[in-house]
Amino acid sequence: MKDKILVTGGTGYIGSHTTVELQKAGYEVVIIDNLSNSNREVIDGIEAITGVRPDFVEGDCTDIPTLRKLFEEHPGIKGIINFAASKAVGESVHKPLLYYRNNLNTLINLLDLMPEYGVKGIVFSSSCTVYGEPDSNPIDETAPIKDPTSPYGNTKQISEEIIKDYVASGAPIKSILLRYFNPIGAHESALIGELPVGVPQNLVPYLTQTAAGIRKELTVFGNDYNTPDGSCIRDYIDVVDLARAHVVAMTRMLDGKDTDAIEIFNLGTGRGLSVLELIDSFERATGVKVPHKIGPRREGDIEKIWADPKKANEVLGWKAEVPIDETMRKAWAWQQRLPKN
Ligand code: NAD
Ligand code: UFG
């Protein structure tokens, strides 16, 4: 058995897939989640896939006594992956304090307790949102950080700064900041996946719900952008590829002798796809038509962004591998397992 890892937000979308990959790689996982955006059945899914039930603590990372109790009852945690956060961009505009309080207090509490409990490193879920509208694509880690476009995006920028300042102060920890592009899809078993609450704001869950007949039609937000087909371009990365990157990052952080105390990696495929291309890919992969229409632009949308993942490819030895059609098939298989309501 390898080291014991604390996965905060581990019953969530990316956290659950990462827990599966950590367990497959031999790590022991303890999850803490307050179930504000997930449910405890996810643990059953993880166990069904890996044959191992991760330890689960229902609790809130903004509460220090809860975290202390966790570290005392689960001694020997060596690394943390901090997924726990609120993540709805639109909601963050209306409830900024909720976002600053939840996302920043969670991080500060974890950082504060790490030295005391002998935790060596923390992997942090950041986002390509820190690059804003890039000056050019693909974008690498040296690109300038732009003014945030939402309180949510700002929590990611501030979190990165908090970690950098803490490490610079001489705190005995290491950190890897992972800037995700657009995670999509589900586990090939269709036992875990993304659970959108209410009307999905993100493209793929809206698309699969439309294909399933839950939504009447998908609206493509704008076809007058400066892109080949006029719709926005993103770097869609399969969630299992993304999860695997966390395992490699954790191993490097805990076992690497001469690695820097802070490292930053873009996690994307390096391939930009437009909204219309993604719809095509879904229809091709599944044979299911997606009723869609062109609508106005969505406020605040970035026109085009895709990753230069060279640093992650070379330094981590990790590469996104799942072809987009396969990701679409998995997203569809997961949608078909979800209850219609
Ligand atoms: P998610 O909502 O599915 O998972 C987050 C989990 O954290 C949920 O299970 C939620 O219940 C839990 N949680 C929230 N606040 C908590 C708290 N205070 N204490 C304990 N648990 C708490 O989201 P996700 O898509 O899996 O995202 C994981 C991380 O990746 C987040 O930090 C998110 O901001 C970041 N991220 C996500 C995307 C994306 O498109 N999904 C892109 C970039 C970055
Ligand atoms: N889109 C549509 N119709 C929809 C939903 C989305 O056309 O019904 C388009 C959007 O305009 C955009 C693309 O699909 O061009 C992707 O939109 P998403 O909402 O799925 O993703 P975003 O790139 O806007 O943002 C997501 C997360 C952010 C995160 C960012 C980068 O919501 O939190 O990816 O990781 F910061």
Identify which of 227, 338, 238 has the alpha carbon closest to the alpha carbon of residue 285. 238
Identify which of 277, 301, 313 has the alpha carbon closest to the alpha carbon of residue 140. 313
Return the ligand number nearest the Cα of 60. 1
Q: 236-249 burial, b for 16+ CB within 10 Å, e for fewer?
A: bbbbbbbbbbbbbb
Mutation probe of ligand 1 site: the residue of 13, 42, 80, 156 with most atoms within 8 A of C-beta: 13
- pLDDT tens for 86-128 read 999 999 999 999 999 999 999 999 999 999 999 999 999 999 9
Return the ligand number nearest the Cα of 202. 2
Closest ligand 1 atom to residue 156 Cα is 34
- Work out the average pLDDT over 4-16: 98
Residue 106: strand, helix, or coil: helix
Handedness of CA 85, 251, 181, 19 (dihedral sign): negative
Handedness of CA 265, 112, 130, 268 (dihedral sign): positive
CB contact set of 236 (below 8 Å; sequence gap of 6+): 181, 182, 184, 204, 269, 273, 278, 324, 327
Confidence of residue 340 (pLDDT cuts 50, 70, 90): confident
Q: What pLDDT is recorded for position 74?
A: 98
For ligand 2, say whether the CB of 105 is within 6 Å of any of its atoms: no
In whole angstroms, what is the distance from residue 61 CA to residue 35 CA? 11
Q: Are strands 273-274 and 233-234 parallel, antiparallel or unpaired?
A: antiparallel
Return the ligand number nearest the Cα of 139. 2
Cα 30 to middle of ligand 2, angstroms? 31
For ligand 2, say whether the CB of 274 is within 6 Å of any of its atoms: no
Beta bridge partners of 304: 233
- pTM (2 d.p.): 0.98
For ligand 2, say whether the CB of 203 is within 6 Å of any of its atoms: yes
- pLDDT tens for 123-153 read 999 999 999 999 999 999 999 999 998 999 9
Closest ligand 2 atom to residue 184 Cα is 20
Closest ligand 2 atom to residue 233 Cα is 15
- Work out the average pLDDT over 231-250: 98
For ligand 2, say whether the CB of 206 is within 6 Å of any of its atoms: yes
Q: What pLDDT is recorded for position 271?
A: 98
**Phi, psi for residue 72 in degrees, rounded to 5:** -75, -35
Cα 84 to middle of ligand 1, angstroms? 5
What single string gives the DSSP state of each residue in 139-193? Answer: B-TTSPPPPPSSHHHHHHHHHHHHHHHHHHTT-S-EEEEEEE-EEE---TTSSS-
User: Is the pLDDT assigned to residue 341 strictly greater than 70?
Assistant: no
For ligand 2, say whether the CB of 129 is within 6 Å of any of its atoms: yes
In whole angstroms, what is the distance from residue 341 CA to residue 17 CA? 24
Residues with a known catalytic role: 152
- Work out the average pLDDT over 228-233: 98
What rounded mean pLDDT belongs to the chain? 97
- pLDDT tens for 199-210 read 999 999 999 999
CB contact set of 202 (below 8 Å; sequence gap of 6+): 196
Closest ligand 1 atom to residue 61 Cα is 19
User: Is the pLDDT assigned to residue 197 strictly greater than 90?
Assistant: no
Q: List the residue whose alpha carbon is closest to atom 1 of ligand 2.
A: 203
